[in-house]
Amino acid sequence: MNGTRATAARRRKLVMKGLESAILLLALFLILFPIVWMALTAFKRPVDLFELTLLFTPTLDNFRTIFAAPWNIGAALWNSTVVAGLTVLISIPCSTLAAYAFSRFEMRFKGALFFTILATQFIPAVVVVLPFYLLFRDLGLLDTHLALVIVNLAIVTPFAVWMLKGFLDAVPTESEEAALVDGATRLRVILDIVVPMVWPGVLVTAVFCFILTWNEFLFALILTRDNAVTLPVGITRFRTERGDLWELIAAAGILISIPMFLLSSVIQRHFVRGMTGGAVK
């Protein structure tokens, strides 16, 4: 009796194990395949494009083409780097100070203020961009880096405040209090004690915000035309009247994605906190 029951249980376990592996393999395939396919396509000649074989003669021509005229993807690469870099450089210091204040001090209207800053990340970008489009048009700022940096700050700042507050909340306050007693002013405490202690968190937040800005599409689509076009908008340019140049899209896609893969794997452990703000550990 016991023996047969054990055998049945063992068999069931084996079936479940097989099922589990099958599901995981499917998940792996679904996650990786689009990336792998894009990567493969980037090295294909146009004639191989719709061949579903893995056997083709790889070429670097596509990468040469996208960097040459008329595509000049290098310019978009530069624009993306400048816009994302400047956005992060402006946003992170401001957000760190605010997050510190929210984390450490009691103040009037703190709840309402924090709530407002956080709630803004739920605002659809499309409602924000309308007035900015009109404003920038009047100021002659359309199609400039500055315009993109300004609107991207709208997305990035609430995230950064939230994320950094999570990191700061996790830093024990004793060292700061020790420094206050030891004779430091509050600003000195922030510079000497808090920043070095929360530095990894600041870095993670900066990387996260960089990725958000780098991948941003809507603002760039509406506010740029030629000079300030970023990579996500840049790739749409490969859809021409003569048809979609998939091999060039794939090459540019690799160009956009590789740096983000690297950055996101650097901060992998903390990536989840970005959007959930420590609501989920």
Partner 1 sequence: MQDRRLKYVLILPAALLVLGTTIWPLAVSLVTSFRDWRLTRSLTPGPFIGPEHYVTALTDDPDFANALQVTASFVAIDVALTVVCALGLALLLRRAGVLHSLTRAVLILPFAVSPALVGISFRFMFNAEMGVFTWLAGAVVPWLQGYVWLADPVAALLVLVFSDAWRWVPYMTLVVLGGLSALPKEPEEAARIDCASEWQVFRDVTLPALMPVLAVVAILKTVFALKMFDQVVTLTGGGPGQSTVTLAYLVYSIAFRWYDMGYASAVAWILTAMLVFLAVWYMKLILRKPGGA
Partner 2 sequence: MADVSLRNLTKAWGGFTAVRDQSLEIRDGEFMVLLGPSGCGKTTTMRMIAGLEEPTAGDILIGGQRVNDLPPRDRDIAMVFQSYGLYPHMTVEDNIGYPLKLRGIKGAERAAQVRAAAAKVELEPLLHRRPKELSGGQRQRVALARAIVRRPTVFLMDEPLSNLDAKLRVSTRAEIKHLQHELGVTTVYVTHDQIEAMTLAHRVAVMQGGEIRQLDTPEVIYDRPADLFVAGFIGSPPMNLVDGDHADGRFTAAGGFHATTGVARHGGRAVLGVRPEDVTVGPAGSGDLDASIYAVELTGDAVLVTVQAGAARIIAKADRAWRAEIGSTVALRLDASRLHLFDAASTKRLQPE
| Residues at the interface with partner 2 (CB under 8 A) | 172, 174-185, 188, 192-193, 196-197
The nearest distance, CB 24 to partner 1, in angstroms, is: 5
Strands 239-240 and 243-244: antiparallel
**How many angstroms from the chain centroid is the CA of residue 40?**
24
CB distance 161 to 117 below 8 Å: yes
The nearest distance, CB 172 to partner 2, in angstroms, is: 7
Phi, psi for 45 (deg, rounded to 5): -80, 155
Contacted by 200, from partner 1, partner 2, none: CB < 5 to 8 Å by type: none
Contacted by 197, from partner 2, partner 1, none: CB < 5 to 8 Å by type: partner 2
Tokens describing residue 56: 């083709």
* Closest listed residue to residue 152, CA positions, set 242, 226, 91: 91
3-state secondary structure of 45: coil
Contacted by 6, from partner 2, partner 1, none: CB < 5 to 8 Å by type: none
Looking at the Cβ atoms of 11 and 239, the one nearer to partner 1 is 239
The answer to whether the bond into 70 is cis (omega within 30° of 0) is yes
Looking at the Cβ atoms of 86 and 129, the one nearer to partner 1 is 129
User: Which run of H or E residues covers position 243?
Assistant: strand 243-244
The nearest distance, CB 180 to partner 1, in angstroms, is: 10
Looking at the Cβ atoms of 59 and 121, the one nearer to partner 1 is 121
DSSP classification of residue 226: S
The nearest distance, CB 174 to partner 2, in angstroms, is: 3
Looking at the Cβ atoms of 90 and 184, the one nearer to partner 2 is 184
Looking at the Cβ atoms of 61 and 169, the one nearer to partner 1 is 169
The nearest distance, CB 280 to partner 1, in angstroms, is: 5
DSSP classification of residue 191: I
